[in-house]
Structure 1
Amino acid sequence: MKKVEAIIQQEKLEELKYAIDHEAETSGMTVTQVLGCGQQKGLKEYVRGQEVITTLLPKIKVSFVVNDDKVEDILTLILDICQTEEVGDGKIFVYPIEEVIRIRTRERGIKAI
Protein backbone atom coordinates (compact mmCIF):
# COMPACT_ATOMS: atom_id res chain seq x y z
CA MET A 1 0.00 0.00 0.00
CA LYS A 2 1.05 3.58 -0.62
CA LYS A 3 0.01 7.00 0.60
CA VAL A 4 -0.27 9.54 -2.20
CA GLU A 5 -0.18 13.11 -0.91
CA ALA A 6 -0.71 16.04 -3.27
CA ILE A 7 -0.39 19.73 -2.48
CA ILE A 8 -2.53 21.53 -5.04
CA GLN A 9 -4.05 24.92 -5.83
CA GLN A 10 -7.30 25.60 -3.97
CA GLU A 11 -9.32 26.13 -7.14
CA LYS A 12 -8.53 22.58 -8.35
CA LEU A 13 -10.09 20.83 -5.34
CA GLU A 14 -13.69 20.56 -6.58
CA GLU A 15 -12.65 19.22 -9.97
CA LEU A 16 -10.35 16.68 -8.29
CA LYS A 17 -13.07 15.59 -5.85
CA TYR A 18 -15.48 15.06 -8.74
CA ALA A 19 -12.94 12.99 -10.67
CA ILE A 20 -12.10 10.88 -7.62
CA ASP A 21 -15.81 10.17 -7.03
CA HIS A 22 -16.54 9.28 -10.66
CA GLU A 23 -13.33 7.95 -12.20
CA ALA A 24 -11.00 6.57 -9.53
CA GLU A 25 -11.23 3.25 -7.78
CA THR A 26 -10.45 4.54 -4.31
CA SER A 27 -12.64 4.63 -1.26
CA GLY A 28 -11.73 8.00 0.17
CA MET A 29 -9.42 10.91 0.66
CA THR A 30 -8.35 13.37 3.33
CA VAL A 31 -8.31 17.11 2.59
CA THR A 32 -6.37 19.66 4.64
CA GLN A 33 -5.91 23.40 4.19
CA VAL A 34 -2.20 24.22 4.36
CA LEU A 35 0.17 27.17 3.87
CA GLY A 36 3.45 26.88 2.02
CA CYS A 37 6.00 28.36 -0.29
CA GLY A 38 8.27 26.99 -2.94
CA GLN A 39 9.52 28.39 -6.22
CA GLN A 40 6.65 30.87 -6.19
CA LYS A 41 8.26 32.75 -3.28
CA GLY A 42 4.97 34.36 -2.29
CA LEU A 43 2.95 37.25 -3.63
CA LYS A 44 3.42 41.01 -3.54
CA GLU A 45 0.21 42.85 -2.62
CA TYR A 46 -0.61 46.42 -1.73
CA VAL A 47 -2.74 47.13 1.31
CA ARG A 48 -3.69 50.77 1.82
CA GLY A 49 -0.79 51.81 -0.36
CA GLN A 50 1.77 49.76 1.56
CA GLU A 51 3.62 46.90 -0.08
CA VAL A 52 3.01 43.58 1.70
CA ILE A 53 4.83 40.41 0.67
CA THR A 54 2.99 37.23 1.57
CA THR A 55 5.48 34.36 1.63
CA LEU A 56 3.16 31.56 2.72
CA LEU A 57 0.43 30.88 0.18
CA PRO A 58 -2.78 28.94 0.85
CA LYS A 59 -2.85 25.48 -0.72
CA ILE A 60 -4.83 22.26 -0.31
CA LYS A 61 -3.26 18.95 0.71
CA VAL A 62 -5.15 15.87 -0.50
CA SER A 63 -4.13 12.41 0.76
CA PHE A 64 -5.07 8.94 -0.45
CA VAL A 65 -4.07 5.49 0.75
CA VAL A 66 -4.29 3.04 -2.13
CA ASN A 67 -3.15 -0.41 -3.12
CA ASP A 68 0.16 -0.44 -5.02
CA ASP A 69 -1.50 -1.23 -8.34
CA LYS A 70 -3.69 1.92 -8.12
CA VAL A 71 -0.90 4.43 -7.48
CA GLU A 72 -0.25 5.28 -11.15
CA ASP A 73 -3.99 5.77 -11.75
CA ILE A 74 -4.22 8.30 -8.90
CA LEU A 75 -1.02 10.07 -10.00
CA THR A 76 -2.28 10.38 -13.58
CA LEU A 77 -5.64 11.70 -12.41
CA ILE A 78 -4.03 14.34 -10.17
CA LEU A 79 -1.61 15.43 -12.89
CA ASP A 80 -4.30 15.63 -15.58
CA ILE A 81 -6.49 17.86 -13.40
CA CYS A 82 -3.99 19.97 -11.47
CA GLN A 83 -1.21 20.65 -13.98
CA THR A 84 -1.39 24.13 -15.52
CA GLU A 85 2.36 24.30 -16.33
CA GLU A 86 2.63 27.42 -14.17
CA VAL A 87 4.72 27.92 -11.04
CA GLY A 88 2.59 27.03 -8.02
CA ASP A 89 0.85 23.92 -9.40
CA GLY A 90 2.04 21.94 -6.37
CA LYS A 91 3.81 18.69 -5.56
CA ILE A 92 2.93 15.00 -5.20
CA PHE A 93 4.60 12.73 -2.64
CA VAL A 94 4.30 8.93 -2.49
CA TYR A 95 5.04 7.10 0.77
CA PRO A 96 5.03 3.40 1.66
CA ILE A 97 2.37 2.35 4.18
CA GLU A 98 3.20 -0.55 6.48
CA GLU A 99 -0.24 -1.15 7.97
CA VAL A 100 -3.80 0.14 7.92
CA ILE A 101 -6.33 -0.74 10.63
CA ARG A 102 -10.00 0.23 10.62
CA ILE A 103 -10.74 1.03 14.25
CA ARG A 104 -14.46 0.14 14.15
CA THR A 105 -14.04 -3.41 12.83
CA ARG A 106 -10.33 -4.07 13.46
CA GLU A 107 -9.91 -5.01 9.80
CA ARG A 108 -6.35 -4.77 8.57
CA GLY A 109 -4.58 -4.14 5.30
CA ILE A 110 -6.45 -3.56 2.05
CA LYS A 111 -9.78 -4.48 3.68
CA ALA A 112 -9.41 -1.47 5.99
CA ILE A 113 -9.07 1.04 3.16
Structure 2
Amino acid sequence: MKAIKPNKLTQGATIAVLSPSWGGPSVFPHIYQQGLKNLKAMGFNIIEYPSATAPDSTLFTNPEMRAADINDAFANPQVGGIIATIGGSDSARILRYLDMVIITAKPK
Protein backbone atom coordinates (compact mmCIF):
# COMPACT_ATOMS: atom_id res chain seq x y z
CA MET A 1 0.00 0.00 0.00
CA LYS A 2 1.33 3.41 -0.97
CA ALA A 3 1.54 6.04 1.77
CA ILE A 4 -0.59 9.12 1.22
CA LYS A 5 1.05 12.33 2.41
CA PRO A 6 -1.13 15.38 3.15
CA ASN A 7 -0.12 18.90 2.19
CA LYS A 8 1.83 20.96 4.69
CA LEU A 9 -0.27 23.38 6.73
CA THR A 10 0.56 27.04 6.37
CA GLN A 11 -0.56 30.13 8.29
CA GLY A 12 -4.19 30.87 7.52
CA ALA A 13 -5.06 27.20 6.98
CA THR A 14 -8.18 25.82 8.62
CA ILE A 15 -7.89 22.99 11.13
CA ALA A 16 -10.80 20.78 12.14
CA VAL A 17 -10.82 19.91 15.84
CA LEU A 18 -12.73 16.81 16.93
CA SER A 19 -12.75 13.98 19.46
CA PRO A 20 -12.69 10.47 17.98
CA SER A 21 -12.63 8.79 21.39
CA TRP A 22 -12.95 10.07 24.94
CA GLY A 23 -14.53 13.46 25.76
CA GLY A 24 -11.47 14.96 27.41
CA PRO A 25 -12.29 18.60 26.56
CA SER A 26 -15.59 18.35 28.45
CA VAL A 27 -13.66 17.26 31.54
CA PHE A 28 -10.69 19.62 31.10
CA PRO A 29 -12.14 22.62 29.21
CA HIS A 30 -9.38 24.98 30.33
CA ILE A 31 -6.71 22.81 28.68
CA TYR A 32 -8.80 22.50 25.51
CA GLN A 33 -9.38 26.26 25.34
CA GLN A 34 -5.65 26.90 25.80
CA GLY A 35 -4.93 24.57 22.90
CA LEU A 36 -7.37 26.45 20.66
CA LYS A 37 -5.82 29.74 21.74
CA ASN A 38 -2.36 28.44 20.83
CA LEU A 39 -3.49 27.24 17.39
CA LYS A 40 -5.10 30.61 16.68
CA ALA A 41 -1.95 32.42 17.83
CA MET A 42 -0.01 30.36 15.29
CA GLY A 43 -2.26 31.77 12.57
CA PHE A 44 -4.66 28.89 12.03
CA ASN A 45 -8.43 29.10 11.63
CA ILE A 46 -10.40 26.56 13.64
CA ILE A 47 -13.58 24.62 12.95
CA GLU A 48 -14.81 22.93 16.12
CA TYR A 49 -16.88 19.85 15.42
CA PRO A 50 -19.63 18.75 17.85
CA SER A 51 -17.58 15.82 19.14
CA ALA A 52 -14.80 18.18 20.24
CA THR A 53 -16.64 19.31 23.37
CA ALA A 54 -19.40 16.73 23.73
CA PRO A 55 -19.65 15.01 27.12
CA ASP A 56 -17.93 11.65 27.40
CA SER A 57 -21.25 9.86 27.90
CA THR A 58 -22.55 11.29 24.61
CA LEU A 59 -19.43 10.27 22.73
CA PHE A 60 -19.43 6.78 24.20
CA THR A 61 -23.01 6.09 23.13
CA ASN A 62 -22.60 7.69 19.68
CA PRO A 63 -19.69 6.24 17.70
CA GLU A 64 -21.59 7.25 14.55
CA MET A 65 -21.44 10.92 15.63
CA ARG A 66 -17.69 10.75 16.11
CA ALA A 67 -17.20 9.10 12.72
CA ALA A 68 -19.53 11.62 11.05
CA ASP A 69 -17.34 14.46 12.32
CA ILE A 70 -14.25 12.78 10.88
CA ASN A 71 -15.94 12.06 7.55
CA ASP A 72 -17.19 15.65 7.33
CA ALA A 73 -13.77 17.09 8.17
CA PHE A 74 -12.14 15.06 5.39
CA ALA A 75 -14.88 15.99 2.90
CA ASN A 76 -14.84 19.71 3.78
CA PRO A 77 -12.68 21.53 1.19
CA GLN A 78 -12.01 24.36 3.67
CA VAL A 79 -10.27 22.00 6.10
CA GLY A 80 -6.54 21.61 5.55
CA GLY A 81 -5.77 19.54 8.63
CA ILE A 82 -7.44 17.61 11.42
CA ILE A 83 -6.48 17.52 15.09
CA ALA A 84 -7.94 14.96 17.47
CA THR A 85 -8.37 16.41 20.94
CA ILE A 86 -7.52 13.03 22.39
CA GLY A 87 -7.19 9.46 21.25
CA GLY A 88 -8.02 6.27 23.00
CA SER A 89 -9.08 2.68 22.79
CA ASP A 90 -12.72 3.62 22.22
CA SER A 91 -11.84 5.13 18.84
CA ALA A 92 -11.77 1.56 17.48
CA ARG A 93 -15.58 1.58 17.68
CA ILE A 94 -15.85 4.23 14.94
CA LEU A 95 -13.90 2.33 12.28
CA ARG A 96 -16.92 0.71 10.64
CA TYR A 97 -18.54 4.14 10.17
CA LEU A 98 -15.58 5.86 8.50
CA ASP A 99 -15.81 6.63 4.78
CA MET A 100 -12.45 5.37 3.56
CA VAL A 101 -13.13 6.57 0.01
CA ILE A 102 -13.33 10.19 1.19
CA ILE A 103 -10.45 9.80 3.63
CA THR A 104 -8.04 8.35 1.06
CA ALA A 105 -9.12 10.80 -1.64
CA LYS A 106 -8.60 13.88 0.54
CA PRO A 107 -5.62 13.33 2.87
CA LYS A 108 -5.31 15.84 5.71
Same fold (TM over 0.5): no
Of Structure 1 and Structure 2, the greater strand share is in 1
Q: Which has the higher helix share?
A: 2
TM-score (ref. length: structure 1) = 0.30
TM-score, structure 2 as length reference = 0.31
